Amino acid sequence: MKIIAINAGSSSLKFQLLKMPQEEVIASGLVEKIGSEDAGFTIKYNGSKDSKVLNIPNHGVAVKLLLDGLIEHEIIKTIDEIEGVGHRVVQGGEVFNESAELNNVTIAAIESLASLAPLHNKAHVIGMREFKKVLPNVLQLAVFDTTFHQTMEEEAYLYATPYEWYEKYGVRKYGFHGTSHQYVSEEAIKLLDNKKDSKIIVCHIGNGVSITAIRDGKSIDTSMGLTPLEGVPMGTRTGNIDPSVLGLIAEREGKSLEELLDILNKQSGYLGVSGISNDSRDIAKAAHEGNHRAKLAMQLQAKRIADYIGSYYIRLKGLDAIAFTAGIGENSSEVRNLIVDHLEVLNVKLDQKLNTTHGIVGNIASKDSSVKVFVIPTDEEVMIAREVYSRL
């Protein structure tokens, strides 16, 4: 059975075609710069990679290009071989506490939540509508980043703002990267020999960063909030900040709220502190060359991540494992070191030989560490495909 996992952005379309239930990736790829004459289409299959630059005016053309590409490269014979489609959706609000089959009602509901994720939900809906046109009789599911965090209790997800804001506008913490946190925590539980009442903290560290406390497979708290801006400093996001800063800069520089939020989302974090880049590899290189601000950018992030780990250790009343995942979490031994250096009081220790082994997966804690430290590559597409497969 073949299932395709889709992640539609405002100008991009990522995909993976998987054979289920074997969870084998048959093909993957990306359509980028949709809406331009020099858009790109890349497809990977059987160890090969094919890329082209062409005019892709809209998502409809991108979807056709993707499906035609699968046939052209003889990955499938016809689109009838695709028996399910899973769409990643960033924001499900309180409307969706599980994945939902796509129809006019659910698509409209997803679109209605766009104010909570304006950069994402509108783009997801465009992708959904185009796939529904081409594959109208195929099961299609929306799989939400926020669903995994619906198990949080009120004290964890409510802000101490006027309660009416929550009642009227849904102002609360929703959390994100839920599909990743779920996948990684499930893998961590396996590594703990399926321990009951497991206590795990997952650190999803990429260009976006979120930390989640997970008890017995359920999210009890997470760092991202109403939007992905809350939490720790990221590639271009500030993470937590005193809101009064906005008033100060608005007054001194005459910037609008929209401009300020754009700066907090796109010009802060690694990029803002270092002044160099949002890419951790560039930051690490500059830090090694003696650039103080690059080093500071890494230290700021590591300290804040450790703050969350300490807080969640208390929430969980102990800790079995910390799991690092996503681009930086999986690949940067230096970032893992910076974080764990703050955790001496919890007796968390790394085996430096294992930590610095390229491509390491599994436990990298030293034998005398009180907490296991896992490196687990995330696989959101597999989680999406599993969800679709379970409905077929």
Q: Could you give the strand order of the β-sheet that contains 372-375, starting from the edge strand earlier in sequence? A: 218-222, 209-215, 199-205, 321-325, 372-375, 362-363
Residues 239/186, Cβ–Cβ less than 8 Å: no
Of residues 278, 277, 245, 276, the one with CA closest to residue 261 = 245
CA distance 6 to 132: 12
User: Considering only CA atoms, which of 249, 250, 228, 232 is closest in space to residue 240?
Assistant: 232
Dist. CA 376–CA 357, nearest whole Å: 14
Known catalytic residues are 145
The radius of gyration computed from the CA coordinates of the chain, to the nearest angstrom, equals: 21
Q: Is 233 exposed, middle or buried (0-12, 13-18, 19+ CB in 10 A)?
A: buried
- Of 293, 351, 384, the C-alpha closest to 89 is 384
